[in-house]
Amino acid sequence: MDGGEAIVEAFRNLGVDYVMSSPGSEWGSLWEALARQQVEGKDGPEYLSCWHETLAVNLAAGYTAVTGRMQAVVLHAGVGLLQGSIGIHGAQQAEYPMLVLSGESLTYGDQAGFDPGAQWVQSLSVVGGPNRFIDPLVKFGQQATSPATLYETIVRAGELAQQAPAGPTYVNVPIETMLQPWTPPALLRKALPPGRPRPSDADIEQVARLLVTARSPAVTTENIGRDPDGMAALLDLAELLGMPVVEGAVADYVNFPKDHPLHQGFKFDPLRDEVDVVLLVRTRVPWYPPGNRPTAATTIALDESPYKPFMVYQNLQADRVLTGDAVASLRLLADRVRALGVDAKLVAERRARFAARHKARMDALQAERDKTAATGPIDPLRFCEIMNRIVPDNAIYVDETITHRRMFQPHLMWRRPQGYFRAPSGLGQGIGMALGVKLAKPKNPVIAMLGDGSFLYNPVTQGLAYSMEAGLPVLFIVCNNRGYVAMKNNQLSYYPDGVGKRHGVYLGEPIKAPDYGELVRPFGGYGRKAETVEEIEPAFRDCLAAVEGGRTAVLNLVLTR
C-alpha cells in the first residue's frame, strides 16, 4: 500500500460519501486505491468524475447543504484550484465543511528513476506552492510533508473543516509523497464528529428573562433553516412568545413558513422603531446599512460563531452573544421560557397584531400579482402566481437569480424545510449546486432558477452533460430578460439623468444568446421555451415530466423585466 491508500482510508474514517473530482495527472495513487476498493468490495467513498472543477466543488456544496455531511473534492494542481476557487470561496461564505485536495511534483524529472511528466517543470508548478492560491479561501491549508504524516494530516484537515465556523480546508499532496509505501499506524483512530458546544445555563437564563419580560421581542434570521430541526426550534420559540420573525434579505434557506401568521417578510425596517429585544439567529448582516440597528432594543446574537473571520466588515452591534449550537440554544431558550412562564394576555395581543400585519402583507403581495397580465408576455410576478399553483409540494428550489430574486423571495411560496437553497456567493455555481442537491435528494424534483446572465457564468456544457451522465435530472429555468439588468440598474442608480438614460445606452444589454432550451438537447435532455403566460403551465409540466423520466430539462422563460 502507498499514499493513495492512506488518502482513501482517511476519507473512510471521516465518513466521506463521495470524492468529487475533475481529475488531473497526479492522482494515479488515489485511483489505484479506489480501484482496489472496488475490486475487493470494501466499503468506502464513491468516486465521481465531474466535467469541470467548479462543478465538482459545487456538487459537494449542494450535497453538504442538504445532508450536513462533509465531502472530499480532488482537483488538479494549482490550476485546478484556480478553476474551483469560486466554489471554494462560496463554501467559505456559506460555512459548508469541505475537504479539498490537490497535488504537485517536487522533483520535476531530476530524480533518477522517476518521471512525473514534463508538464510540472514546464507550466504546472507554482512558486511557493499551490497553497498561495487558496490560503485566503480556506480555514486551514497545509502540504502533506511525508507518507508518515499523510493520513493524519488529511484526517485533521477534515476535522477542522467541520468545527465552527465550518468551512473548506486544503491539503496539498505531492506525487512523490503519494507514491511512497504507507504502513497504517498501529492505532488507526476514527475521526471524531464535530463538537457541539452550548451556551452556559447562566447565559440561557439571562436571555430567557429578557424575552419573557420584553414588551415587543422579535427575531431575524438568515440561516437557521440550514438544519430542518432549526426551523422547528425557531417556530416553537416564536409561537411560545408570539414573536414576529423576519428572514434576512440574503436568506439562504427556508427559515420560517411564509404562510405562518408570525412571518413578517424579509425587511426588518417596519419593526425597527417598536422592538425592545431582537434575537439575531445565525445572522451575519441583520440590517443595512450595518450600523442601522434598532437604537432602543437589546440585541442578542445566537450562532455557532457570531463573528465571522472571513468577513471584512461585520457590525452586529450585539449587546449579548449566545455562542454554541444554534438549534440546541433555541431549544434551551424555549424550555427556560416555559419554566419562567409568559404573560398570556401580552402574547395573545402580539399574535393577533402580527397576524393582522401578515395578512395585510400577503394580501398586498397577491394584489401585486393580480395586477399583472393573465395573457401575453410574461411578467415575473405572473410566473410566480402560476408556479405557486402547479409546483409539487416536495419540489426543491435552487436559486441563482439576481434581479428576479427580489421578486421571487416574497412571491414564490416555498415553505417546507429544505425547500429552498440559495446558490453560494459568486455567480456560476447554480448548476453544480442544483446537481449536488439532487444527489442528496434523488426522489425530489429539483428546480433551479437562474437569470440568463447568471446562467452564462456557469460551466453550462459540462453541467448539463454531467447531469445526464450521472443520472441527476434537474429542471433548469433560465429567467431570460435578455440582458445584464443589474448593470443597467447600477448605472441608473448613480446617474439617473445621465447619458445612458437620455439615449437608452446600457452596456450589457441585450444579451445576444441562443435559445437556452436547445443547449441540453445534444446530451439527450429536454428543452422548451415559453414566451407567453399561456405557455408557462404546459411547458413546465412537460419539463417536469421529462425530469421524472430521467432527463434533464431546460426551460427558456422569456420575461418582460
pLDDT of residue 483: 82
pLDDT in tens, 131-190: 999 999 999 999 999 999 999 999 999 999 999 999 999 999 999 999 999 999 887 877
Task: Indicate if the pLDDT at residue 488 is higher than 90.
Answer: no
3-state secondary structure of 153: helix
The reported pLDDT for the residue numbered 212 is 96
- Reference 554, options 529, 517, 522, 515; nearest CA is 517
| pLDDT confidence bin for 14, thresholds 50/70/90 | very high
Task: Reply yes or no on whether the pLDDT at 39 is more than 80.
Answer: yes
Work out the average pLDDT over 37-62.
Answer: 96
> Has residue 561 got a pLDDT over 90?
yes
Confidence of residue 482 (pLDDT cuts 50, 70, 90): confident
- Which of 233-237, 321-325, 483-487 shows the lowest mean pLDDT across its residues? 483-487
Q: Distances from the Cα of 132 to the Cαs of 125, 170, 237, 447, in angstroms?
A: 12, 11, 45, 37
% the chain with pLDDT above 90: 87
Q: In Å, what is the CA distance from 303 to each residue of 251, 280, 281, 306, 324?
A: 15, 8, 6, 5, 6
pLDDT range class, residue 91, cuts 50, 70, 90 = very high
| Mean confidence (pLDDT) of the chain | 94
CA distance 395 to 393: 6
Element (H, E) at 361: helix 344-370
Position 291 scores a pLDDT of 83
Q: In the chain, what are the domains?
A: 3-178 (3.40.50.970), 201-359 (3.40.50.1220), 372-558 (3.40.50.970)
Task: Report the SS3 class of residue 320.
Answer: strand
pTM confidence score: 0.94
pLDDT value, residue 511: 84
User: Residue 292: pLDDT above 90?
Assistant: no
Residue among 63, 52, 62 nearest 85 (CA): 52
Query: What per-residue confidence (pLDDT) applies to 513?
Result: 84
Percentage of the chain lying above the pLDDT 70 cut: 100
